[in-house]
Amino acid sequence: MSLIEIKNVFYQYNETKKAVNGVSFDVKQGDYVTIIGHNGSGKSTLAKLIAGLLPVKSGQILIDGKEVNEENIASIRTRLGIVFQNPDNQFIGSTVKDDIAFGLENKLVPSENMDAIINEFAKKVGLEAFLNYEPQNLSGGQKQRVAIAGILAMKPDIIIFDEATSMLDPKGKKEIKQLMYDLASGDDITIISITHDIEEVLQSDDCIVLNKGKLFMHDKPENIFMHAEKLREIDLDVPFIEKVRETFGKHKIKLKAQDLKGMVDELCRSSSKR
Amino acid sequence: MNDLVFGKYIPIDSEMHKLDPRAKLIGLFLMIGAVFVPKSWWVFLAIALCLAVALLMAKIGIRMIVQSFKPMIMMMIFLLVINSLTIRTGDILFTIGSFAIYKDAIFNTLFVIVRLLLMISITTLLTATTNPLDLTLGIEWLLKPLEAIRFPAHEVAMMVSIALRFIPTIIEETMRIMNAQKSRGVDFENGRLSEKISAILSLIVPLFSVAFERAYELADAMEARGYVPGAKRTRYHVLKFRFKDYLFIFICVVILAGSIASRFYL
């Protein structure tokens, strides 16, 4: 059974343009799903609709069979967390530990249990030494890790990353992406990552491509990138490895490997045979 | 802008820091009352001495207190000028050209200035020794009785807490916008009044736009983490009154009582 079911969902901010236009797809429990598309394609709107931060105008979003609506939103939010793009705009507490505690306070966790939970999840994101730090004294990557710890502390089944790495420097990007991969592989957490990072898409189980609010493609990443021309039509790029495969393909050399090292080995083997 | 001292928390370990924020807030109101009542310079001196002891206990240097007076200097000069122009009673102290300056004008101004300086020092002592979050918890506790008349005490405390949390972020944003506008040729320091107004507008408009954007995103982040205004929540920081808190309030009550008594006996 799918954990998230999106059924023919529509949303529009104004009367002229539909931000999300009849989108339908399912997400299985424990999957790592990436959503890509150019700016204005409806990715972030879709994330907010799933999190119940915007009301669905028409269609239906179900999480574990429960419809995302005003009636169910409180119980759904205990199972779902969202990490936003700008780390500065989601820091609520005046220190790291106060920020992690914010969600716990809303979840009515008793005060005496909070320190243990805060320490556990600060350790999980590698911030146990920064618990008393103020937000302005942290790097972008560290701030995003605090946001993730705050969400993990609420023990959600689903985490949505809304371009969570786009405002970070390369080091911060690497840290957060690694944390996302660890979460996707280690726990039974379902991850939906909205991203412009094509390399990240390759790590996901499933990829959804949006274009002008509509579902453009939905498949395994390797199948999506086979249609490089189709992606380029909507101004999306393909990963470096697919560009290499495409270039060799033009010279009638077909490479099947899914990573760069595999491709190099494949090429070495074929050249030694010749 | 980063040198702003008034309202800044100094995270050090002192006896004043360890007091319950509610005790410090009650102490603040009692001491402000004590500053407003007396008419004798001796009482002001006694309050200043008490304050000096509190500053020593808080391990806060006199330099920080003096720095906190800086933003008030213009207001004090303005007060002196207005009083000199309007108060025309008492002996003539000296004349500037044909304009006489009266003793009452100078003494009344000095009275107000001393009261202001003492009030600023007391408030700086409170904010320097109290973590902003604890301060808002204290404010919420003080406002709690008003919930009976549907006053949103928790929401007000949450707003104050977020406002305090965002001060450094907004200062940083202001500096960034100022630098961006300077690089486009906007001059914030020189020029006629109309040019200065237009320069300030070029700072304020984007600043408001960014602040609203941040507010929307923060509201989404809070909502996504299960925050519902008015709903029941547990607390990470639980405030507890101890003996030393009661002792601190008692001392402040004694100072206020002494100050009131001075009105009748000095």
pLDDT in tens, B184-205: 988 888 888 888 888 889 999 9
What is the enclosing helix (H) or strand (E) of A26? strand A20-28
What's the rounded mean pLDDT across residues B99-122? 90
Highest mean pLDDT (candidates A165-179, A209-223, A257-271): A209-223
Which residues span the domain enclosing A272? 239-274
What's the rounded mean pLDDT across residues A15-42? 91
How buried is A155 (Cβ within 10 angstroms: 0-12 exposed, 13-18 middle, 19+ buried)?
middle
Q: Which of B133, B220, B232 sits opposite A98 (nearest CB)?
A: B133
- Mutation target for B interface from A50, A91, A94: give the one with most B CBs within 10 A: A94
User: How high is the ipTM of this complex?
Assistant: 0.84
Is B238 in the A-facing interface, judged by CB distances under 8 Å?
A: yes
Q: Which of B133, B221, B227 sits opposite A94 (nearest CB)?
A: B133
pLDDT digits (tens, 9 = 90+) for B70-94: 878 888 888 888 988 888 888 888 8
Q: What's the pLDDT band for A274 if we cut at 50, 70, 90?
A: low
Q: Are B47 and B118 in contact (CB under 8 A)?
A: yes
| Residue A250 belongs to a domain | yes
A10 token code pair: 């529509």
Which of A80, A86, A109, A98 is CA-nearest to residue A190?
A80
What is the enclosing helix (H) or strand (E) of A262? helix A260-273
- Mutation target for B interface from A89, A146, A163: give the one with most B CBs within 10 A: A89
> Are the Cβ atoms of A89 and B226 closer than 8 angstroms?
no
Which of A81, A56, A61, A75 is CA-nearest to residue A7?
A61
DSSP state at residue A216: E
Q: Are A12 and A59 in contact (CB under 8 A)?
A: no
> Are the Cβ atoms of A108 and B233 closer than 8 angstroms?
yes
| Residue A47 belongs to a domain | no
DSSP state at residue B60: -
Is B209 in the A-facing interface, judged by CB distances under 8 Å?
A: no
Q: Which of A51, A89, A106 sits opposite B218 (nearest CB)?
A: A89
Say how far residue A232 (Cα) sits from the centre of its chain. 22
> Which residues, 6+ apart, have CB-to-CB distance to B191 below 8 Å?
B199
Dihedral sign, Cα of residue A80, residue A83, residue A84, residue A87: positive
φ/ψ of residue B151, rounded to 5: -80, 125
Runs of H (alpha helix) within chain B? 15-18, 21-36, 41-58, 62-69, 73-86, 103-129, 132-143, 153-183, 193-224, 243-265
CA atoms within 13 A on the CB side of A60: 9
Q: Are A44 and A51 in contact (CB under 8 A)?
A: no
Is B89 in the A-facing interface, judged by CB distances under 8 Å?
A: no
Looking at the structure of chain A, the number of domains it has is: 1
Q: Measure the CA–CA gap between A126 and A128, rounded to whole angstroms.
A: 6
What's the rounded mean pLDDT across residues B224-247? 90
Is B1 in the A-facing interface, judged by CB distances under 8 Å?
A: no
Torsion of Cα atoms, A183 then A220 then A258 then A237, to 10° = -100
Smallest CA–CA distance, residue A8 to chain B, in Å, is 23
Smallest CA–CA distance, residue B157 to chain A, in Å, is 13
Cβ within 8 Å of A, B 103-162? 131-133, 161-162
Q: What's the pLDDT band for A250 if we cut at 50, 70, 90?
A: confident
> Are the Cβ atoms of A114 and B236 closer than 8 angstroms?
yes
- What percentage of chain B reaches a pLDDT higher than 90? 43
Runs of H (alpha helix) within B144-152? none
Q: Measure the CA–CA gap between A190 and A5, rounded to whole angstroms.
A: 13
The sheet with strand A66-67 has its strands ordered as A20-28, A2-11, A58-63, A66-67
Q: Measure the CA–CA gap between A50 and A58, rounded to whole angstroms.
A: 13
B259 token code pair: 């100050």
**DSSP codes, A87-102:** GGGG--SSSHHHHHHH
> Are the Cβ atoms of A109 and B234 closer than 8 angstroms?
yes
Structure-token match 């419809």, residue found? A67
| Residue A167 belongs to a domain | no
| Residue A256 belongs to a domain | yes
- Give chain B's radius of gyration (CA, Å): 23
- Mutation target for A interface from B174, B175, B218, B225: give the one with most A CBs within 10 A: B225
| Residue A271 belongs to a domain | yes
Name the closest residue on chain A to residue B135, using Cα atoms: A94
Smallest CA–CA distance, residue B148 to chain A, in Å, is 23
Q: Measure the CA–CA gap between A143 and A73, rounded to whole angstroms.
A: 27
Q: Are A6 and A23 in contact (CB under 8 A)?
A: yes
Smallest CA–CA distance, residue A146 to chain B, in Å, is 13
Q: Is the pLDDT of residue A192 over 70?
A: yes
- Give the residue with greater pLDDT, B133 vs A175: A175
DSSP state at residue A58: E
Smallest CA–CA distance, residue B56 to chain A, in Å, is 25
> Are the Cβ atoms of B234 and A74 closer than 8 angstroms?
no
Structure-token match 């509610």, residue found? B22
Name the closest residue on chain A to residue B238, using Cα atoms: A111
- What percentage of chain A reaches a pLDDT higher than 90? 52
- What percentage of chain B reaches a pLDDT higher than 70? 97
Q: Are A238 and A256 in contact (CB under 8 A)?
A: no
Name the closest residue on chain B to residue A80, using Cα atoms: B224
pTM: 0.77
B154 token code pair: 């928790």
What CA–CA distances, in Å, run from A110 to A78, A105, A116, A139?
A: 16, 8, 11, 31
